[in-house]
Amino acid sequence: MTDAEPRPSTVRERAFEILEHGRRRDLASRVLDWIMVIVILADVAVTLAQTQPEIQAAYGEDLQIFDRLCVLIFAIEYAARLWVAPEHLMLQKLSAWQARARFAGTPMMVIDALAFVPLILEILFPGVALIRLTRLVRFLKLARYSPALATIGRVIAAERRALLACVIILGGVMMAAAAAMHAVEGDVQPERLGDMSKAMWWSAAMLAKIGGGELTPVTAAGRMIAAITVMLGIFCFALPVAIIGRGFYEEIRRRDFVVTFALVAHVPLFSRLDAASISDLVGILRARTVPAGTVVIRKGEPGDAMYLIASGAVEVDAPTGKVRLEEGDFFGEMALLTRERRTATVTAIKSTDLLVLDCDDFHRFIDRNPDIGAHVRAVAQERTTGPVARVG
Ligand code: CMP
């Protein structure tokens, strides 16, 4: 290996960023995501096309080759994800192979591994056309590219007790309606309500508002029961929708606010911290999104917090001139260090996501991490005395 070549760990770090980190503005990462989405959709489309006899007869072999090519791409992707696994912050304490083994057990990696099962089945049972349909499991790989899908998964997990209660209510209502109808009209319409299985089918159809088939109650009591069942159906289905809807909203809001691990780990100031300290910070940092033009700090006010720019930019109206600070930079540290008033006005120049570290937390944090404290002091010093400072 020549000097000009990057070290393997650097290549792996970069591969990790592209594959796993999903950096918001990383073009390579986004391009790769799109390529994988297109390959997955193409493979699913090919599988569906192969169920059409005329297409299968005309292009069967070509489609087969295309499918094998897709599997090759999935295999390369899977191997690459395993290779970069030791770069995950949470796994960095493990040896490389331990990290890979642990990572292989994560839900998305299990789904990725499942994508190969159809090929194995096709090799083991050649000629069984139905086995080809198992390839449709690859559709699940799209979950990786839909953060909202993961959010719904979390919401369902969080609301599982309430949702279970809904299922119990629905089951109870279904059985009660079926029993009532069976009792009232079982003799009148024995072919449709003569036993509980028929009556259950009727009540399920009524509750789901798919009409109850051609069955019209013939007795007054039957009509009452049918009307109540329809009403209860609306209630039973509206309830879980409302629960999931509210949970989804809460989750999205929390995600905006609970600062993520990856976000904090990528702030240059914290880049040397270990995973435990970053986890602590995730708990104490607040997120604040400000629109362009918002005055975040006003000169002369007392200092109550330090800010880190997660995305966007601000302008500092410093005595030495206007300074633009961008993603990864911090500001508002001087008043906290000197316990005096703010030295400059700071205004957002675009919509900016800020991580806010309150004054007390700031002092506790730099006490616990003296080298970060020294760096912040050095930057503050440079900003006061030196030329216009740019922070790293
Ligand atoms: P503080 O005085 O608490 O509030 C205003 C902030 O603007 C200040 O902390 C610094 O973080 C920042 N600031 C002041 N002067 C400069 C400068 N010359 N370059 C960059 N940032 C500055």
pLDDT digits 0-9 by tens, 16-49: 878 875 545 578 888 998 999 999 999 999 999 9
Q: Are 151 and 252 in contact (CB under 8 A)?
A: yes
> φ and ψ at 288, to 5 degrees?
-145, 125
Pull the structure tokens for residue 260.
């993520």
- Ligand 1 center from residue 325 Cα (angstroms): 10
Predicted pLDDT at 23: 47
How many whole angstroms separate alpha carbon 118 and alpha carbon 302?
64
pTM for the whole structure: 0.52
Question: Rounded CA gap, 347 and 295, in Å?
Answer: 4
H/E element holding 100? helix 96-104
pLDDT at position 43: 93
In the prediction, which pLDDT does 214 show?
65
Distance, CA of 146 to CA of 41 (rounded, Å): 14
Cα–Cα separations (whole angstroms), residue 331 to 15, 220, 272, 292, 316: 32, 75, 19, 17, 9
CA–CA distance, 139 with 118 (Å, rounded to integer): 12
Report how far ligand 1's centroid is from the alpha carbon of 343 (Å). 6
Q: How far apart are CA 21 and CA 12, in angstroms?
A: 12
Residue 5 has a pLDDT of: 37
User: How many of the other CB atoms lie within 10 Å of CB of 57?
Assistant: 8
Q: How far is the CA of 51 from the centre of ligand 1 (A)?
A: 66
C-beta neighbour count of 68 within 10 angstroms: 11
Best residue for ligand 1 mutational test, from 325, 343, 358, 388 (most atoms within 8 Å of Cβ): 343
330-331 and 305-311 strand pairing: antiparallel
Cβ–ligand 1 contact at 297 (below 6 Å): yes
Atom of ligand 1 nearest to the CA of 331: 11
- Give residue 377's pLDDT: 94
* Residue having the nearest C-alpha atom to atom 15 of ligand 1: 318
Q: Of ligand 1's atoms, which has the minimum distance to the CA of residue 388?
A: 18
Ligand 1 pocket check for 323: Cβ under 6 Å: yes
The preferred substitution site among 331, 345, 347, 358 for testing ligand 1, maximizing ligand atoms within 8 Å of CB, is 331
> Would you say the CB of residue 331 lies under 6 angstroms from ligand 1?
yes
- Whether 74 lines ligand 1, by a CB cut-off of 6 Å, is no
Write down the pLDDT at residue 206: 87
Q: What is the pLDDT of residue 172?
A: 95
Q: Can you give the C-alpha Rg of the chain in angstroms?
A: 30
Q: Is the CB of 332 under 6 A from ligand 1?
A: yes
Q: What are phi and psi of 264, to 5 degrees?
A: -65, -40
Residue 151 has a pLDDT of 72
pLDDT at 347 (0 to 100): 92
> Ligand 1 centre and the CA of 96: distance in Å?
42
Which runs of E-coded beta strand occur in 229-380?
286-290, 295-297, 305-311, 313-318, 321-326, 330-331, 345-348, 352-358
Bridge partners of residue 324, in order along the sequence: 315
pLDDT computed for residue 29 by the predictor: 84
- Provide the pLDDT for residue 392: 44
In this prediction, the residues of the chain whose per-residue pLDDT falls under 50 are 1-8, 23, 257, 388-392
Burial of 64 (0-12, 13-18, 19+ CB in 10 A): middle
The pair of three-digit structure tokens given for residue 376, joined into one six-digit string? 């912040």
How many Cβ atoms are within 10 Å of 1's Cβ, its own excluded?
7
Helix (H/G/I), strand (E/B), else coil: 317: strand
Q: How far is residue 79's CA from residue 55's CA, in Å, rounded to a whole number? A: 33
